[in-house]
Structure 1
Amino acid sequence: MVFLIVFLVLCGVAFLAGVPLNGFVFFIASCRVERTASTVWFWSRAVADLIFIIFLPLRFTSIFIPDLDSANEISSTVTSFHMFFSAFLLMSLSVDHCILVACPEWARNHRTPLLTFKMVIGMWALSAGFSLRHGDLWEYVYSPASIRMNFQLDEGKVKAAVAIQFLVGFLIPLVLILIPTFYIILAAKLRKNRLIRSTEPLKILLGLIPTFFLCWLPYHVFSFLQISATYPQTLLNTGSTFACVLTYFSSCLNPIFYLTMEEEFLRYQQRVRNPQATDNSGPEPAE
């Protein structure tokens, strides 16, 4: 009973906070008169987070009514899609801000909203490919033992899918995110230019990166524990349930960073457009 109450409270908080916050960010990004690359990044992340949060009731249903195979598969596939897309998007954001610092002239001429939108579409397609390909495997990993008996899946394929999920959706993006982020931090410390020292967009990355990986780390840990079959199944099911709920809180925290940093983004863009300032980041071109 205590487990159910805590789970209901966490799901309620995540849903009631995540839907309006991500909806508000989506509305702001959609209504911006001037389209910039950063606006496209924010808009795409808000859409992904909003879809993920909307499917939270389905996740709740799949946990407490495990016989609903369609609910299990859809909720597992949506969770997997959101994980891959979030990792790919953070990786792209990190590289994007690194280019702003390292190649300001190229960024000024080529960093367009259209190019950013094409990259977002590519990430959506790539994330959907990874998720739909292994939708039944995710359902198998996060289903109770009694339901797993109905699956006729190769254990080796399940373990390979979990490994791919961890490597492609977590470990490799983490490395590719940290490398350009460390470069930006190092550039901010070594260069004397005022714009590089005060790049407010970097603050968003430093908030989004730990939020994403701390919220998704338990998900991957319990994925490996579920296929190991060396721990009590009841304990694993409880831990996996709360690990899944924790992933939804990353979607609640993301819009907070966007909303609190919106004003600083505007000040940052005004400075890089100021002809009296040394331009190291370049203005974001509008469509």
Structure 2
Amino acid sequence: MEYLQVPFLVLCAVVFLAGVPLNGYVLFVAGCRVERTATAVWFWNRAVTDLIFIIFLPLRFTSFFILDLNWANILSSTITSFHMFSSAFLLTTLSVDRCILVACPQWAQNHRTPCLAFIMVLGLWALSLGFSLRYGDLWEFLLSPPRISMNFQVDEGRVRAAIAIQFLVGFLIPLALILILTSYIVLAAKLRRNRLIQSTKPLKILLGLIPTFFLCWLPYHVFYFLLMSAKYPLSLLNIGRASAYVLIYLSSCLNPIFYLTMDEEFQRYRQRARNSQTSNNSGPEPAA
């Protein structure tokens, strides 16, 4: 593992130094410049999860190379699980939100408020924290080379169940729901583009976030399934583990690019909408 420390440390430093300022700037932009809409609430909280995840990156590096720090292993694994579940739940909720906005624009205009979005976000965070706290302590069992810890005994069946649950709840089920909802949104936007262009404007950022999240988290789940099988050399699994974590941290650095792109386009679109309202008195603009 010694030969992995230097490149892994360099990558962690690059991700940390780039990810913290980028996500911090996104939070500033969303909090100060973007209008208070349900869409802004979704993306702002998505950026919060990325920032929390990257801030604890040094702890992940410490737990990766000093395996006997049980508290660091448990805390970093809990934070990683929280980031995975909260990101998957928020992306799924974003897709549902877009779908409702396209399918029922009149209902969404009357009932879809930032306050309701914020309440839903609190529920999603509580649900994500519940999953993370329940299973975060199990990864110490897997990450110990002899699968035995002096301070921690656990049933292997429970660990297998935890891996299956985090794959199903944090990856596969959200992916299936998002693909179904996004397909409907794209199809509806193509069929009724002239009427729904306002409702589908943030779709571009959603289409960027979805593949980034699932492609970067797929190696993480594959690694845990391989680790549970115990049929591969530990050195090879450690390389896979490091690569999987680099990818998921990298995804948290790519997300701000999508946010900032949406912000610029969103501001230009708002300006055009205001100019259009001033010229033709077309009435109030629906919330994005």
Decide: shared fold, TM above 0.5.
Answer: yes
Going from structure 1 to structure 2, the CA distance change for 1:240 and 1:277 (only over 3 Å counts) comes to farther
Q: For the Cα contact (< 8 Å) 1:195–1:272, is it kept in 2? A: no
Distance in 1 separating the partners of 2:206 and 2:272 = 20
Whole-Å separation in 2 of the counterparts to 1:245 and 1:238: 11
How far apart in 1 are the matches of 2:281 and 2:99?
A: 20
The answer to whether the aligner puts 1:212 opposite 2:227 as a matched pair is no
SS in 1 for 2:200: coil
Alpha-carbon distance change, 198 to 110 in structure 1, aligned in 2, over 3 angstroms: closer
Residues 1:5 and 2:6 aligned together: yes
Count of paired positions:
283
Q: Are 1:145 and 2:145 counterparts?
A: yes
- AA at the equivalent of 1:218: P
Which structure 2 residues correspond to residues 46-61 of structure 1 after superposition, within 5 A?
A: 46-61=47-62
TM-score (norm. length: structure 1): 0.91
Identity of aligned residues (%): 71
Deviates more, 1:163-172 or 1:2-11: 2-11
Aligned-residue offset at 1:43: 1.5
Question: Which segment is superposed worse, 46-55 or 258-267?
Answer: 258-267
Matched position secondary structure for 2:90: helix
Counterpart CA distance in 1 for 2:139 and 2:212 is 23
- Report the secondary structure of 1:153's partner residue: coil
* C-alpha separation in 2, matches of 1:37 and 1:192: 22
Amino acid at match of 1:145: P
User: What is the 5 A alignment of 1:3-42?
Assistant: 3-32=4-33, 34-42=35-43
Residue 187 of structure 1: how far off its partner (Å)? 1.0
**What are the within-5 Å matches in structure 2 for residues 10-159 of structure 1?**
10-32=11-33, 34-141=35-142, 143-146=143-146, 148-150=148-150, 151-159=152-160
Aligned equivalent of 1:234? 235
Alignment CA distance shift 1:283-1:192 (3 Å): closer
Greater mean deviation of Cα atoms: 177-186 or 258-267: 258-267
Distance in 1 (alpha carbons) for counterparts of 2:281 and 2:59: 51
Residue of structure 2 in register with 1:162 after alignment:
163
- Could you tell me how far apart the structure 1 residues matched to 2:82 and 2:204 are? 26
Equivalent position of 1:283 in the other structure: 286
Distance 1:278 1:189, change over 3 A: farther
Q: CA, structure 1 residues 33+9, in 2 after alignment: closer, same or farther (shift >3 Å)?
A: closer
| CA shift for structure 1 position 5 | 2.1
Aligned equivalents of 1:102, 1:216: Cα separation in 2? 30
Structure 2: how far apart are the matches of 1:192 and 1:158?
48
1:265 — aligned with what?
266
1: CA distance between counterparts of 2:270 and 2:111?
A: 17
| Distance of 1:197 and 1:183 partners within structure 2 | 16
CA–CA distance in 2 between the matches of 1:202 and 1:166? Answer: 26
Contact 2:205 2:259 in 1 (8 A): yes
Return closer, same or farther for 1:277/1:270 CA change in 2, 3 Å cut-off.
Answer: farther
Equivalent position amino acid for 1:283 in 2: P
- In the TM superposition, residue 196 of structure 1 has moved relative to its aligned partner by 2.8
Where do 5+ consecutive residues of structure 1 fail to align? none
Structure 1 residues 76, 82: closer, same or farther in 2, change over 3 A? same
Unaligned stretches of 5+ in structure 2?
A: none
1:97 positional shift: 1.0
Matched to 1:284, the amino acid is A
Distance change in 2, residues 1:278/1:239 (3 Å): farther
Residues 60 and 72, structure 2, Cα contact 8 Å, conserved in 1: yes
Backbone CA RMSD of aligned residues: 2.3
Local SS of the residue matching 1:101? helix
Moved over 6 A (4+): none
Q: Name the CA distance, whole Å, in 2 between partners of 1:138 and 1:277.
A: 60
Higher relative contact order, chain-length normalized (CA < 8 Å, sep 6+): 1
Instruction: Find the residue that maps to 1:145 and give its secondary structure.
Output: coil
SS in 1 for 2:35: coil
Matches of 2:282 and 2:210, distance apart in 1 = 29
Q: Distance in 2 between matches of 1:162 and 1:120?
A: 25
